[in-house]
């Protein structure tokens, strides 16, 4: 809806597409609760059991949390894909359709999709698999026989044409529905002529809309100057890009850099250790590398864990500390995945990442020790991880905090999304140009 007074039209459309709901919960807005509104006319016409929440008690309506997440997902898409703001109606529709078809544990879905629980039919994802919102596409006019033209993808067109029909933004800033749509591949986008073509396409669209292209000179974060109106008037937008979970007591990986152990993959790892008396598994954390009387690290590293002679200090949950060899640590790291050794966490999955402009650039990715050894720099500075919790809410977490609390999940996400990246066991993402080390 572009205006709130169309709430009644939206309810009518829902009843036509999905059926009449037995029970409906809404707030006390005049567009919904007013006696002579179109919304109330639809409620009476379809004999819907209507429940109105108490004023200023938004927690009584579960959809309020979903609305917040819809807005946040749209903000991320708008900023990352450089989408002109005037296409918010297509963008939010696409976000909602994707959420409807995504498996969730929230709301008693038990892994099912929201739209399946409403319709009772198996969800068909075919129309959503090939495109992301505002992706560059080719389309054909004249029933597919015309020349190939550049465009941008704006979602699935359910009410026009046959299946696999999509909304396409043309170079004249008009929106059409076509089935003859093809995604522009990464190889095609690397061709200079195609780069210039889509750059001119974007400039022309923004000229017609009267919008300037937002500058993004601080990593993946939005520039405050370009998005000032959102920052000032939209609390959800400001919170999405400003409220980062960050524990100041946890240091960045750079702050504890020691040249002799900069390739150490065991520090800060959590272990599941069998206790000597046969009781429950004891949990401990690797805190530091042990050194001899001269201050030199004990033992040497080796690619074969059996021949690794390094010694570490581990701290148990009750506070006592002990020394442990690297071979024993490696054994218990692998044992941590056992069902009897795992601890329950509330993280559902890691779904995205971004940078804030402080990340280490490619040209600064190497360090040289005092002995002349040159190696890659371990760093967590400038990276933020988007985490989805079990209740389907999302939060941005600083990489150092994720590395400290959920190293295994972080390492798995890095392996899947950075196949060419070097990922150490504690989940530190290094340069994408590096060769794989430990995954």
Please name each of the domains of the chain with its CATH number: 4-119 (3.30.420.10), 126-212 (2.30.30), 253-417 (no CATH)
Q: What is the predicted pLDDT for the residue at 135?
A: 92
Q: What is the pTM of this model?
A: 0.62
Pairing assessment for the beta strands 49-52 and 23-26 based on DSSP bridges: parallel
Per-residue pLDDT of 338-388, as tens digits, reads 344 444 456 788 988 988 878 877 777 777 767 777 777 777 888 889 998
Query: Taking phi first (over 0 means left), then psi (-120 to 50 degrees means alpha), and beta for anything else, what does residue 235 get?
Result: alpha
Per-residue pLDDT of 22-75, as tens digits, reads 889 888 888 888 888 899 999 999 999 988 888 877 777 778 888 888 888 888
Per-residue pLDDT of 391-406, as tens digits, reads 778 888 988 888 888 8
Per-residue pLDDT of 93-119, as tens digits, reads 999 999 999 888 777 777 888 888 888
Rounded CA-CA distance 126/159 in Å is: 16
Q: What is the predicted pLDDT for the residue at 426?
A: 38
**Residue 419 pLDDT grade (very low, low, confident, very high; cuts 50, 70, 90):** low
What is the rounded average pLDDT of the residues 399-415? 84
Q: How far is CA 197 from CA 166, 193, 212, 350, 390, in A?
A: 21, 6, 18, 35, 43
Percent of the chain clearing pLDDT 90 (strictly above): 16
What is the rounded average pLDDT of the residues 318-324? 85
Which residue pairs, CB below 8 angstroms and at least 24 apart, start in 364-368? 365/430, 365/431, 365/433, 365/434, 367/257, 367/259, 367/262
Helix (H) or strand (E) holding 23: strand 23-26
Rounded CA-CA distance 136/436 in Å is: 31
**Residue 277 pLDDT grade (very low, low, confident, very high; cuts 50, 70, 90):** low
What DSSP character marks residue 423? B
CA pseudo-torsion sign 352, 358, 363, 369: negative
């Amino acid at each position: 809806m572009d205006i709130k007074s169309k709430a009644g039209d939206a309810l009518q459309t829902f009843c036509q597409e999905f059926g009449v709901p037995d029970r409906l919960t809404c707030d006390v807005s005049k567009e919904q609760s007013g006696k002579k509104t179109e919304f109330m006319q639809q409620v009476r016409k379809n004999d819907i059991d209507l429940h109105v929440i108490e004023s200023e008690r938004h927690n009584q309506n579960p959809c309020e949390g979903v609305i917040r997440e819809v807005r946040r997902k749209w903000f991320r898409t708008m900023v990352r894909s450089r989408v002109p703001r005037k296409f918010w109606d297509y963008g939010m529709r696409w976000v909602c359709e994707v959420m409807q078809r995504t498996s969730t544990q929230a709301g008693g879905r038990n892994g099912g999709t929201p739209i399946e629980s409403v319709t009772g039919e198996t969800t068909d994802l075919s129309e959503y698999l090939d495109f992301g919102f505002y992706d560059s596409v080719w389309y054909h006019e004249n029933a597919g026989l015309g020349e190939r033209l550049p465009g941008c993808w704006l979602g699935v067109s359910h009410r026009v044409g046959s299946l696999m029909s999509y909304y396409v933004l043309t170079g004249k800033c008009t929106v059409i529905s076509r089935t003859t749509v093809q995604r522009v591949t990464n190889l095609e986008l690397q061709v200079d002529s195609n780069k210039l073509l889509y750059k001119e396409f974007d400039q022309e669209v923004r000229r017609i809309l009267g919008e300037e292209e937002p500058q993004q000179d601080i990593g993946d974060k939005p520039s405050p100057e370009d998005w000032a109106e959102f920052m000032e008037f939209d609390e959800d937008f400001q919170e999405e890009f400003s409220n980062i979970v960050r524990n100041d007591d946890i240091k960045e990986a750079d702050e504890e850099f020691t040249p002799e152990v900069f390739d150490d993959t065991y520090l800060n790892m959590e272990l599941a250790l069998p206790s000597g008396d046969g009781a429950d598994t004891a949990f401990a954390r690797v805190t530091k590398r042990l050194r001899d009387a001269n201050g030199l690290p004990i033992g040497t590293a080796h690619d074969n864990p059996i021949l690794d002679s390094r010694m570490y200090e581990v701290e148990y949950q009750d506070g006592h500390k002990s020394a442990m060899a690297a071979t024993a640590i490696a054994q218990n790291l692998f044992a941590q995945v056992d069902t009897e050794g795992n601890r329950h966490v509330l993280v559902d999955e890691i779904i995205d990442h971004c940078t804030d402009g402080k990340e280490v650039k490619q040209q600064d990715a190497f360090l040289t020790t005092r002995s002349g050894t040159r190696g890659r720099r371990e760093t967590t500075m400038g990276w933020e991880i988007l985490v989805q919790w079990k209740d389907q809410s999302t939060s941005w977490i600083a990489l150092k905090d994720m590395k400290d609390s959920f190293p295994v999940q972080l390492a798995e996400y890095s392996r899947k999304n950075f196949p060419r990246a070097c990922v150490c066991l504690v989940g530190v993402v290094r340069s994408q140009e590096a060769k794989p080390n430990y995954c």
